[in-house]
Amino acid sequence: MESVVQEKGTLSIHTENIFPIIKKFLYSDHEIFLRELVSNAVDASQKIKQLSSYGEYNGELGELKVTVKLDKEAKTITVSDRGIGMTADEIKKYINQIAFSGAAEFVEQYKDKAGSEKGIIGHFGLGFYSAYMVAEKVEIITRSYKDDAEAVRWECDGSTEFELGPAERSDRGSDVVLHIAPDSEEFLSEFRIREILEKYGKFLPIEIEFEDKVINNPTPIWTKNPADLQDEDYLAFYKELHPYSEDPLFWIHLNVDYPFNLTGVLYFPKLKNDFQMQREKIQLYSRQVFITDEVKDIVPDFLQLLHGVIDSPDIPLNVSRSYLQADGNVKKINGYITRKVADKLADIFKNDREGFEKKFDDIGLFVKYGTISDDKFYDKAKDFCLLKNTEGKYFTFAEYQEAIKENQTDKNGTQIWLYTNDSKKQDSFINSARKRSYDVLYLDTVIDPHFINTLEQKLEKVNIKRVDADTVDKLIEKEFALESVLSTDQQEKAKGLFEGLMESKSATVQVEAMPADELPVVITFPEFMRRMTDMQATSGQRSMFGDMPMMYTVSVNANHPLTAKILETADETQQKALAKQAYDLALLSQGMLSGQALTTFIQRTVSTL
């Protein structure tokens, strides 16, 4: 038997094996090939511009346009540029050696010259080979900008064999000709090519021409200096991005050089209620090449409702999601965007409070979402996040605390904030609160239940209750309490009488001393239980209580004349009918009377008229 010897070694990788893998798996989206080739052509054009500006190229620059041509008969797509071109040696170096990027080398060589890395897209040295995802053969006909350069032709059919030789080309630059493979003929369509060019190349920095038309805007506003731009420019650009949207509320021009590079413009849209639908409206670019509109990892969750463009060469592009999440730059970018947005909002708040208040109904959602999901954002937003009361007045948290502290601090020194999530339904409760000069806030958007939790966590000695969480004097318990005009016996009797009317097990009856001008019977939803059921409903999960019905309290007003009258009624049937009527009125005012019960109530009421 042969004995196994311990050894170490290096795995040998053969390029023949690797090539098909690159072809197949380099990018999941095959249409990317055009982005890569057009980017290379743009790079080559930018490079000649730069060499000219450094004085290393003294010939004419001429028009640097990149052209894309489709020849359906010949089944070719050709990308042509008037950039730096390549010599035979450069082809050997940059094209034959897969993953040896000429772009990276160029940047390295000129790294000391200001702005050299700006505007060069490629840096992995693989982009060119993405051509083989759709082509069975690729030709390059190129001529370097160098004075004595000869034109060269390179050809490769996707095996590891290539051909290189002299060619005819009088002008500087390159033509990259793709002979489209039979399984990729979908790309031999004007419509498809235009669609891909518009998707990825809409803002490339060099003009891109297809079918005699320039498809791009080479100087989009995010590349310009904010000082040179007017509101109209931002609005016009917004229309360019989202032709069918309403004008945005305002925008933020992002511009940072250190510790990472990032430019962009973020717009605050007017939100519609279906705000889930409006995600994926931020586009991510790298040096003006469109990369994706999935910005989950780069933009904090709560800002994904914004629209606009972010451009950063520092975001790794062709790597996996998990890498992106762990990337330090990505985290910093996230923090930077959050800070910028907070600063901008603080700015508007400070300089134009009135305008800010007008916009708050629209931007409140972002701001509240931000305070919930990001502590750092909360720290800034606590000074400009607004609360709106039922009289339409706006307050910051501090202003609100100051305004209500006198009247709405309970006997334990806790401030009780009252709110409504449905001012029509809870109208009688809002009125009761007003009678006590209590203030009632609107907290009626989808995000408010979470916002309320955040407020209670962050603010000391603040308790937030829905206006129908209890009867008015129990919402905010004060030192003094109303006396009941009923004796204990009478109270017990009233309790028993009303308990006899309850069909639902989730109702608790209590007899309370309330002001005489309150309703005879009031139905309330204890805050804690209600929040549990609400949470269960929104999360779609069953709680430990199972699918529980809404628990509610039936408070009988001991001091209401009707209660006394009911107790005094000798005829039992009549007594029950009176009590039932009072109870049904309470149900009605909470919108809980429906179907058969409602019909019976109406008939009974009509018969007494």
Ligand X SMILES: Nc1ncnc2c1ncn2[C@@H]1O[C@H](COP(=O)(O)OP(=O)(O)OP(=O)(O)O)[C@@H](O)[C@H]1O
| Identified binder of ligand X from the candidate list 38, 64, 84, 554, rule CB under 6 A | 84
Residue 243 beta carbon to ligand X: minimum distance, rounded to whole angstroms: 31
Q: Is 530 annotated as a binding residue?
A: no
Tell me the C-alpha distance between 167 and 185, whole Å: 28
Contact 443, 368 (CB under 8 A): no
| Identified binder of ligand X from the candidate list 31, 81, 297, 374, rule CB under 6 A | 81
Q: End-to-end CA distance of the chain, in Å?
A: 109
Q: Is 161 annotated as a binding residue?
A: no
Tell me the C-alpha distance between 607 and 609, whole Å: 6
Three-state secondary-structure class, residue 149: coil
23-31, 36-44, 252-260, 452-460 -> range binding ligand X (CB under 6 A): 36-44
Q: Is 532 annotated as a binding residue?
A: no
Q: Taking Cα atoms as reference points, which of 357, 343, 335 lies closest to residue 249?
A: 357
451 binds ligand X (CB under 6 A): no
Residue 247 beta carbon to ligand X: minimum distance, rounded to whole angstroms: 37
Which of 41/315 has CB closer to ligand X? 41
83 binds ligand X (CB under 6 A): yes
Which of 172/530 has CB closer to ligand X? 172
Which of 91/476 has CB closer to ligand X? 91
Reported in sequence order, the residue ranges of 127-276 that DSSP labels E, i.e. its strands, are 135-143, 152-156, 162-166, 173-180, 208-210, 213-214, 250-256, 262-268
Residue 380 beta carbon to ligand X: minimum distance, rounded to whole angstroms: 37
The sheet carrying 387-389 orders its strands as 394-395, 387-389, 440-442, 415-420, 462-466
Three-state secondary-structure class, residue 524: strand
Q: Which residue has the tokens 């009632």?
A: 440
372 binds ligand X (CB under 6 A): no
**Distance set, CA 452 to CA 372, 465, 467, 527 (Å):** 9, 9, 14, 12
8-16, 77-85, 180-188, 450-458 -> range binding ligand X (CB under 6 A): 77-85
33-41, 322-330, 383-391, 574-582 -> range binding ligand X (CB under 6 A): 33-41
**Distance set, CA 237 to CA 105, 279, 297, 524 (Å):** 35, 19, 25, 52
Q: Is 55 annotated as a binding residue?
A: no
Those residues with Cβ within 8 angstroms of residue 339's Cβ, 6 or more apart along the chain or in another chain: 376, 380
> How many CB atoms sit inside 10 A of residue 416's CB?
19
Judging by beta carbons within 10 Å of its beta carbon (0-12, 13-18, 19+), is residue 521 exposed, middle or buried? Answer: buried
Which of 102/264 has CB closer to ligand X? 102
Residue 184 beta carbon to ligand X: minimum distance, rounded to whole angstroms: 19
Residue 135 beta carbon to ligand X: minimum distance, rounded to whole angstroms: 14
Which of 131/475 has CB closer to ligand X? 131
Residue 109 beta carbon to ligand X: minimum distance, rounded to whole angstroms: 11
103 binds ligand X (CB under 6 A): yes
313 binds ligand X (CB under 6 A): no
Q: Is 444 annotated as a binding residue?
A: no
Residue 144 beta carbon to ligand X: minimum distance, rounded to whole angstroms: 8
| Identified binder of ligand X from the candidate list 34, 38, 40, 169, rule CB under 6 A | 40
| Identified binder of ligand X from the candidate list 95, 305, 455, 464, rule CB under 6 A | 95
101 binds ligand X (CB under 6 A): yes
Q: Taking Cα atoms as reference points, which of 384, 524, 391 lies closest to residue 465?
A: 524
50 binds ligand X (CB under 6 A): no
Contact 528, 572 (CB under 8 A): no
Q: Report the Cα 33 to chain-centroid distance in Å.
A: 29
86 binds ligand X (CB under 6 A): yes
Three-state secondary-structure class, residue 118: coil
174 binds ligand X (CB under 6 A): yes
Tell me the C-alpha distance between 67 and 80, whole Å: 5
Q: Angle CA(216)–CA(217)–CA(220) in degrees, nearest 5?
A: 140
| Identified binder of ligand X from the candidate list 32, 34, 41, 494, rule CB under 6 A | 41
338 binds ligand X (CB under 6 A): no
Q: Angle CA(232)–CA(238)–CA(240) in degrees, nearest 5?
A: 105
Residue 176 beta carbon to ligand X: minimum distance, rounded to whole angstroms: 6
84-92, 164-172, 187-195, 492-500 -> range binding ligand X (CB under 6 A): 84-92
Number of residues in contact with ligand X under rule CB under 6 A:
23
Q: Is 392 annotated as a binding residue?
A: no
- Contact letters for ligand X, residues 119-158 (x by CB under 6 A): ---xxxxxxx------------------------------
83-91, 297-305, 454-462, 510-518 -> range binding ligand X (CB under 6 A): 83-91
Amino acid (1-letter code) at residue 382: K
Contact 243, 272 (CB under 8 A): no
Tell me the C-alpha distance between 444 and 244, whole Å: 28
Which of 64/593 has CB closer to ligand X? 64
What is the DSSP code (8-state) at residue 230? Answer: -
101-109, 210-218, 399-407, 431-439 -> range binding ligand X (CB under 6 A): 101-109
Residue 90 beta carbon to ligand X: minimum distance, rounded to whole angstroms: 7
Which of 46/389 has CB closer to ligand X? 46
567 binds ligand X (CB under 6 A): no
Contact 83, 64 (CB under 8 A): yes
Which of 175/448 has CB closer to ligand X? 175
Q: Is 158 annotated as a binding residue?
A: no
Residue 265 beta carbon to ligand X: minimum distance, rounded to whole angstroms: 25
Which of 152/523 has CB closer to ligand X? 152
**Distance set, CA 179 to CA 3, 41, 44, 80, 132 (Å):** 54, 18, 22, 15, 9
Extract the annotated binding site.
36, 40, 81, 86, 101-102, 321
Residues that bind ligand X (CB under 6 A): 36, 40-41, 44, 81, 83-86, 94-95, 101-103, 122-128, 174, 176
Extract the annotated binding site for ATP.
36, 40, 81, 86, 101-102, 321
